[in-house]
């Protein structure tokens, strides 16, 4: 067992070392993830086996205490960030002194410093053979390391360190506000970086939060500061890929979400449910624990990992809520195998009822509204809309489809391909030409990411715009959405909850031989490409929402939410 884990960890350490000075691109990290998956699968299975044999080594190779320590560390950081900065004046002086002492700190040093804790950790893992009796020794070793850390820092030093961290964070916030004038604060950020280097040197511990500050906050749109994940994501990804608690199916899923190779809320939900099934199947109850409880805690780690890769879709959150509810309701007297099969059965049922049957019902409903010679405008890709149109074609209706597409995702091309394969007559254009065709269109069909409790529709960016133009041309807009995507949340703008995708996608021009003037946008601090994933369509643009239950006005979402059995 030791072999696969050592190779994985070694490669990770290498990667961590290279990643610190120059953040690796998403693709690279992805490749890394995929590489690890094979190894991770082995370790996971072996860990599970070892669990079955009744040995007490944690599934991830980390001892419980270690994990607890990690958690505590994270909590501590949160505390630090939440604490108010009462003593700004003092803290202003202290880091400066530190800078004076170690003013020659180089980037290379920083790199070493930040990677050493990981290395030492890894050493601990690799040195400890997977026997139950060595667990104790490892525990003591970890404890010793912790003690050492504590000893080297006196209380005053810790205080000073905290203040420095606070100050750094405060300044980082100030920088975020001052993005408009980077010239003035370029120096400030440099100082900031120095300070952070200082902190890291002093503290020896590298927490991801401090690293977040270390990266200069350029190329961010102020309005969306709360949405950028960047370094934090990278750090967390590394932490979680080290964590053998996460089932490889979820690691793979995470990688797919991260690369956005699985897109669309239905597809994402289906993929997650099938991963969930795999997990339920592979999961072995640790000794002296109850199946559902321990599954829930394992699941929690996996879901956190998924959330780090990409924020969960509403459809996924809803499905997960149902699954967790089921875990608490399941009869504890059943055997593990019975529970397992029951859970899998219920997942299948959920897929069948909430997605398949609902899609069928919606398709039937919309098909009643499609008549011959209709010109139907659709936007981007939606599995549900595709199904509706193909069904209508099979029913022998004669209609045309106008596919409106938008960069940078260009999902509409996939839609076009599939509709053409189904022998549906199609036109294709980009979103800026939507006014050009709208006068000739008879209906607009839109998919949705989620329906919010105030009747607004959350969907792929651009949906609101298509609805807006349709509205101005007085064309009916039908939003098709299964009720499992309904959401208690209310939202009136596209700023509070949204996702920011890879900004490089905005500046790459695919269709023609032209190349963009923005390819080296990182060189100019004033330039920020913004790639939003979602927007929110006001309810007054939407004529009706077609659900499997009924055709409703948008404003009836709360009614459905009350009807649906949730908890």
Partner 1 sequence: MLEMELFSDVIKLISDIRHSKLHNSYDIAIHTEELVERLISEGKWKSAQDLMSLIKLRIARFISALPQEATPVNIMRHILKIIRDEYDTGFKSKGEGHQSLHHLVTANINDSEDYSKLLPTLKSSLLNNLAEYKVELESSMDNIATQALEHIHANEIILTVGKSNTVEKFLKYAAKSRKFQVIVVEAAPRFHGHLMASNLAKSNIQTTIIPDSAVFAMMSRVNKVIIGTHTVLANGGLRTECGVHMVALAAKRYSIPIMVLAHMYKLSPMHLCSSEQDAFNICASPADVLPYSSGPLLNKVHVYNPAFDYVPPELVTLFISHQGGNAPSYVYRLLSELYHPDDQEL
Q: Which residues contact partner 1 by CB under 8 A? A: 179-181, 183, 221-223, 406-408, 413, 416-417, 420, 426-437, 439, 460-462, 464-465, 468-469, 472, 493-495, 498, 506-507, 509-512, 514, 516-518, 521, 524, 526-532, 534-536
* Of 355 and 479, CB closest to partner 1: 479
User: Minimum distance between the CB of residue 312 and partner 1, rounded to whole angstroms?
Assistant: 20
Distance separating alpha carbons of residues 353 and 288, to the nearest angstrom: 35
* Of 24 and 375, CB closest to partner 1: 375
Apex CA 18: angle with CA 16 and CA 22, to 5°? Answer: 110
Beta-carbon count within 10 A of 193 CB: 18
* Of 120 and 526, CB closest to partner 1: 526
Q: Are 442 and 374 within 8 A, CB to CB?
A: yes
* Of 100 and 421, CB closest to partner 1: 421
Of 150, 232, 160, the C-alpha closest to 195 is 160
Apex CA 251: angle with CA 245 and CA 256, to 5°? Answer: 165
Dihedral sign for Cα 67, 69, 71, 74, please: negative
SS3 assignment, position 540: helix
User: Minimum distance between the CB of residue 477 and partner 1, rounded to whole angstroms?
Assistant: 14
* Of 344 and 427, CB closest to partner 1: 427
What tokens appear for 175 in the block?
Answer: 């920088």
User: Minimum distance between the CB of residue 462 and partner 1, rounded to whole angstroms?
Assistant: 3
User: Minimum distance between the CB of residue 220 and partner 1, rounded to whole angstroms?
Assistant: 10
Q: Residues near 148 by Cβ (< 8 Å), separated by ≥ 6?
A: none
User: Minimum distance between the CB of residue 189 and partner 1, rounded to whole angstroms?
Assistant: 16
Q: Are 462 and 406 within 8 A, CB to CB?
A: yes
* Of 33 and 434, CB closest to partner 1: 434
* Of 94 and 494, CB closest to partner 1: 494
User: Minimum distance between the CB of residue 417 and partner 1, rounded to whole angstroms?
Assistant: 6
User: Minimum distance between the CB of residue 360 and partner 1, rounded to whole angstroms?
Assistant: 28
- Report DSSP state, residue 499: -
Q: Residues near 535 by Cβ (< 8 Å), separated by ≥ 6?
A: 458, 459, 460, 461, 462, 463, 464, 465, 494, 498
* Of 262 and 437, CB closest to partner 1: 437
Distance separating alpha carbons of residues 316 and 324, to the nearest angstrom: 12
User: Minimum distance between the CB of residue 480 and partner 1, rounded to whole angstroms?
Assistant: 19
* Of 197 and 405, CB closest to partner 1: 405
User: Minimum distance between the CB of residue 177 and partner 1, rounded to whole angstroms?
Assistant: 11
* Of 50 and 189, CB closest to partner 1: 189
User: Minimum distance between the CB of residue 423 and partner 1, rounded to whole angstroms?
Assistant: 9
Beta bridge partners of 483: none
Name the helix (H) or strand (E) containing 450: strand 450-451
DSSP string, 273-288: HHHHHHHHHH--PPTT
What tokens appear for 60 in the block?
Answer: 């991830």
Exposed, middle or buried by CB within 10 Å (0-12, 13-18, 19+), for 261?
exposed
* Of 337 and 512, CB closest to partner 1: 512
User: Minimum distance between the CB of residue 515 and partner 1, rounded to whole angstroms?
Assistant: 9
Locate the DSSP E strands across 48-93: none
Enumerate the H helices of 283-382 as residue ranges: 291-309, 314-329, 336-350, 358-369
Of 330, 346, 347, 338, the C-alpha closest to 272 is 347
* Of 32 and 554, CB closest to partner 1: 554
Distance separating alpha carbons of residues 512 and 503, to the nearest angstrom: 20
Distance separating alpha carbons of residues 22 and 362, to the nearest angstrom: 49
What tokens appear for 200 in the block?
Answer: 């890291």
Of 308, 312, 304, the C-alpha closest to 265 is 312
Would you state the torsion angle of the CA atoms of residues 404, 406, 409, 412, taken in this order, to the nearest 10 degrees?
A: 10
User: Minimum distance between the CB of residue 433 and partner 1, rounded to whole angstroms?
Assistant: 5
Beta bridge partners of 460: 534
User: Minimum distance between the CB of residue 479 and partner 1, rounded to whole angstroms?
Assistant: 15
Q: Residues near 35 by Cβ (< 8 Å), separated by ≥ 6?
A: 11
* Of 385 and 536, CB closest to partner 1: 536
Apex CA 198: angle with CA 192 and CA 201, to 5°? Answer: 145
């Amino acid at each position: 067992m030791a072999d696969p884990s050592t190779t994985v960890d070694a490669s990770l350490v290498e990667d961590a070392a290279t990643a610190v000075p120059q953040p690796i691109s998403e693709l690279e990290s992805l490749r890394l993830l995929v590489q690890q998956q094979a190894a991770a699968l082995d370790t996971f299975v072996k860990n599970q086996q070892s669990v079955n044999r009744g040995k007490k080594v944690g599934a991830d190779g980390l001892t419980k205490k270690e994990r607890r320590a990690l958690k505590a560390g994270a909590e501590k950081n949160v505390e630090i960030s939440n604490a108010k900065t009462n003593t700004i004046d003092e803290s202003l002086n202290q880091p400066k002194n530190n800078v004076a002492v170690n003013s020659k700190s180089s980037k290379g040093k920083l790199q070493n410093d930040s990677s050493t804790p990981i290395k030492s950790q890894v050493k601990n893992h690799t040195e400890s053979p997977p026997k139950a009796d060595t667990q104790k020794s490892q525990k003591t070793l970890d404890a010793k390391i912790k003690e050492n850390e504590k000893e080297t820092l006196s209380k005053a030093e810790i205080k000073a360190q905290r203040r420095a961290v606070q100050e750094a964070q405060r300044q980082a916030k100030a920088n975020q506000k001052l993005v408009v004038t980077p010239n003035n604060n370029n120096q400030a950020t440099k100082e900031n970086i120095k300070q952070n280097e200082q902190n890291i040197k002093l503290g020896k511990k590298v927490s991801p939060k401090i690293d977040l500050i270390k990266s200069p906050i350029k190329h961010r749109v102020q309005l969306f500061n709360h949405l950028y994940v960047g370094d934090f994501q990278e750090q967390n990804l590394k932490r979680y890929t080290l964590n053998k608690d996460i089932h490889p199916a979820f690691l793979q899923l995470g990688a797919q979400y991260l690369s956005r190779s699985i897109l669309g809320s239905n597809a994402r939900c289906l993929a997650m449910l099938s991963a969930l099934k795999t997990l339920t199947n592979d999961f072995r109850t640790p000794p002296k624990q109850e199946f559902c409880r321990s599954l829930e805690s394992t699941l929690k780690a996996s879901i956190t990992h998924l959330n780090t890769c990409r924020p969960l879709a509403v459809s996924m959150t809803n499905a997960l809520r149902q699954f967790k509810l089921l875990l608490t309701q399941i009869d504890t007297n059943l055997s593990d195998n019975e529970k397992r099969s029951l859970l899998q059965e219920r997942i299948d049922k959920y897929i069948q009822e909430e997605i398949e049957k609902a899609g069928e019902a919606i398709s039937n409903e919309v098909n009643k509204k499609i008549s011959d010679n209709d010109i139907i405008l659709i936007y981007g890709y939606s599995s549900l809309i595709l199904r509706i149109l193909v069904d209508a074609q099979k029913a022998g209706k004669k209609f045309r489809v106008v596919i409106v597409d938008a960069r940078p995702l260009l999902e509409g091309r996939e839609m076009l391909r599939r509709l053409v394969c189904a022998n549906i007559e199609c036109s294709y254009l980009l979103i800026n030409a939507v006014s050009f065709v709208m006068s000739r269109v008879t209906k607009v069909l839109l998919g949705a990411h989620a329906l919010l409790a105030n009747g607004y529709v959350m969907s792929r960016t651009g949906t609101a715009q298509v609805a807006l133009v349709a509205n101005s041309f007085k064309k009916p807009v039908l939003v098709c959405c299964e009720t499992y995507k309904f959401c208690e949340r209310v939202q009136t703008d596209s700023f509070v909850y949204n996702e920011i995708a890879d900004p490089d996608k905005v500046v790459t021009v695919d269709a023609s031989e032209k190349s963009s003037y923005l390819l080296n946008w990182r060189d100019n601090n004033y330039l920020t490409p913004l790639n939003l994933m979602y927007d929110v369509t006001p309810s007054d643009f939407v004529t009706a929402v077609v659900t499997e239950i009924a055709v409703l006005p948008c404003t009836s979402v709360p009614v459905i939410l009350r009807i649906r059995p949730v908890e």
